[in-house]
A and B are shown apart, each in its own frame.
Chain A
Amino acid sequence: MKRTGTLLLTLLTLTLFMLAPAMAQEEIDETRDVAKDASIFIGNPVGEVIVIGWDRSEVRIEGELGEGTRRLDVEGDEHRLVVEVVIPRRKRYVEDTDLEIHVPRGARVEIDVVSADVRVEGLTNDLVINSVSGDVEIDCRLEMLDVDSVSGDLDLRGETGRCSIETVSGDLELLSDSIKQLEVDSVSGDLELNLVRVDRLMLDTVSGEISFEGSILKRASLESHSGGIELFFDGEPSAGFEISTYNGEIDNSFGPRPHRVDRWEPELELSFESGGGDADIRVETFSGDVVLDTK
């Protein structure tokens, strides 16, 4: 009797083991009606998240749930929808879940991932992305963009009203026609910005290199410890400059040369006005070199 019980238990366990992956690897294809400006939260720890804006008042979720995940939650109403991959508590390793989600163009979207890569295109409202190590690609014309990342690389294209980016070691490549306000913090990640126009620009790095190409219309504050800062303008800029470096070099192609602040210290300072002096540009480094030039 005891033997039979053990055998049954073993068979049951084996069956569950065989069934579990099949359940976990299920295909996803769900559609929900939502408002054109609905708030949509998407959470997927590992794998890939692709979000595409479209003209329908619908959210369509396609993909495949990775092995080891528990389920996909799709909850909420037409104004707020949560799409979240749920993994079992204390589970360290799960297979990738790949999601492709179509949302209304005007939706406000927030995406939370750990190592999943994120690609977003065609949105026009607010976008918030929190990522640890996944790469992020965005091609949108947004009202507001907020990205918080640790080590993933960021590739941003399009136009944005307000844009705030924090990265630790991930590099940022940004190509945009117009941004009203851009704030970027980076520890060691390099920032490569190609902006036709930006009204307000605030960039802080520790060792990350900053390369900026474009026009600054109102105000810019760029600060770095050891990372170099290169500004390449579209022609002679209309701006007042306050540049200083404690232990780096300043190379200015269209204005006066820097002078030493104190004969006993290496600190260099350069203040001058160019064009009509419309914008205010402040650049400060500890040991990073500063280059001002035209494209």
Chain B
Amino acid sequence: MTHKDALLLLNDHIDGVLSPDHEDELHDHLATCPSCRAELDQLRALVTAAADLPEDIQPERDLWTGIEQMLEGHPRRMPASPRRSKAWFVVGGIGLAAAIILVTLGMSGILFREQVEIIPDNYANTASHYIEMMEAECRQGEVALHAAIDNSNESVTLVRMRDDIQIIDQALEESISAWRANPHNRRLARLVMTSYRFKVDLLNKAARVASNT
């Protein structure tokens, strides 16, 4: 099992929905990989933190329901979990503390890594839906990041990270524009998804740096 394979399985492991074979493989990998063990610990902490969030934060829209409907007929891949849904939705609360942003980006980042692998047959529509969804996620993470940069005495690292987000945005602009002209082109859709994965990861990292600045 590769490092990335293991990371993809951590979420389901926590939710208790992993098949016994995958559980065994993951268990073997965790025994030899301190990095994945750390990721698992972090994920557990995120789930706990998400569970402790106030109940009155309402999502702006029900993203998870949309994903479930879209993936009807593909239940194996993304079983709904109340904890995960909650964390996913909380990103709607712009202006929440950096810790909460970290929670939400962490969860959606893991979810997104799964999504890259699970695009079903109705390619153009599904890809379009994911792209809109990721755009909304990233937009809200960015608002929080810009606020963190403004409050961090111009941290050189954060400013450089903001520059890198602009590089990714440029890549997204170019690849989305090409993909919109060719919505059935799988390579273009994959390139768009890869750029979003980079953006979610970078926003996640930036939130961590901001919380330490």
Q: Does B99 contact A (CB under 8 A)?
A: no
Q: In the assembled complex, how far is the CB of residue B27 from the closest CB belonging to chain A, in whole angstroms?
A: 17
Q: Give 1 or 0 for each of B191-213: 1 = CB within 8 Å of chain A CB.
A: 10011001001100100010010
**Do residues A146 and B202 form an inter-chain contact, with CB atoms below 8 A?**
no
Quick one: closest A residue to B34, CB to CB? A128
* Segment at the A interface, from B69-77, B87-95, B174-182: B174-182
Q: Which residues of B contact A187 (CB under 8 A)?
A: 164, 167-168, 198, 202
**Do residues A225 and B182 form an inter-chain contact, with CB atoms below 8 A?**
no
Q: Does A232 contact B (CB under 8 A)?
A: no
Q: Which residues of A contact B187 (CB under 8 A)?
A: 244, 246, 267, 284
State in angstroms the CA–CA spacing of A134 and B35 once bound together: 19
Q: Give 1 or 0 for each of A166-205: 1 = CB within 8 Å of chain B CB.
A: 1011000000000001010101100000000000101010
Question: Could you say which of A168, A226, A284, A286 contacts B202, with CB atoms under 8 Å apart?
Answer: A168
Chain B interface residue count, Cβ-Cβ cutoff 8 angstroms: 35
State in angstroms the CA–CA spacing of A240 and B60 once bound together: 48
Decide yes or no: A206 and B33 within 8 Å by CB, A150-B205, A168-B202, A225-B191 being known contacts.
no
Q: Does B122 contact A (CB under 8 A)?
A: no
Decide yes or no: A144 and B160 within 8 Å by CB, A187-B167, A188-B167 being known contacts.
no
Q: In the assembled complex, how far is the CB of residue A243 from the closest CB belonging to chain B, in whole angstroms?
A: 11
Decide yes or no: A168 and B164 within 8 Å by CB, A144-B32, A226-B171, A286-B178 being known contacts.
yes
**Do residues B157 and A150 form an inter-chain contact, with CB atoms below 8 A?**
yes
**Do residues A166 and B174 form an inter-chain contact, with CB atoms below 8 A?**
no
State in angstroms the CA–CA spacing of A128 and B4 once bound together: 15
Q: In the assembled complex, how far is the CB of residue A292 from the closest CB belonging to chain B, in whole angstroms?
A: 18
Q: Does A249 contact B (CB under 8 A)?
A: no
Chain A, interface residues (CB within 8 Å), range? 35 or more
Q: Give 1 or 0 for each of A270-287: 1 = CB within 8 Å of chain B CB.
A: 000000000000001011
**Do residues B191 and A284 form an inter-chain contact, with CB atoms below 8 A?**
yes
State in angstroms the CA–CA spacing of A204 and B194 once bound together: 8
Q: Which residues of B contact A166 (CB under 8 A)?
A: 201
Q: Does B51 contact A (CB under 8 A)?
A: no
**Do residues B168 and A181 form an inter-chain contact, with CB atoms below 8 A?**
no
Quick one: closest A residue to B35, CB to CB? A146
**Do residues A286 and B191 form an inter-chain contact, with CB atoms below 8 A?**
yes
**Do residues B198 and A185 form an inter-chain contact, with CB atoms below 8 A?**
yes
Q: Does B188 contact A (CB under 8 A)?
A: yes
**Do residues B38 and A133 form an inter-chain contact, with CB atoms below 8 A?**
no
Q: In the assembled complex, how far is the CB of residue A221 from the closest CB belonging to chain B, in whole angstroms?
A: 11
Q: Which residues of A contact B161 (CB under 8 A)?
A: 150-151, 168-169
Q: Which residues of A contact B3 (CB under 8 A)?
A: 146, 162, 164, 183
Given A128-B34, A202-B4, A225-B195, 6 more contacts at CB 8 Å? A166-B201, A169-B161, A187-B164, A206-B164, A247-B178, A265-B182
Chain B contact residues, CB within 8 Å of chain A: 2-4, 32-35, 38, 153, 156-157, 160-161, 163-164, 167-168, 171, 174-175, 178, 182, 185, 187-188, 190-191, 194-195, 198, 201-202, 205, 209, 212
User: 3 shortest A-B CB distances, which residue pairs?
Assistant: A225-B171, A146-B35, A187-B164
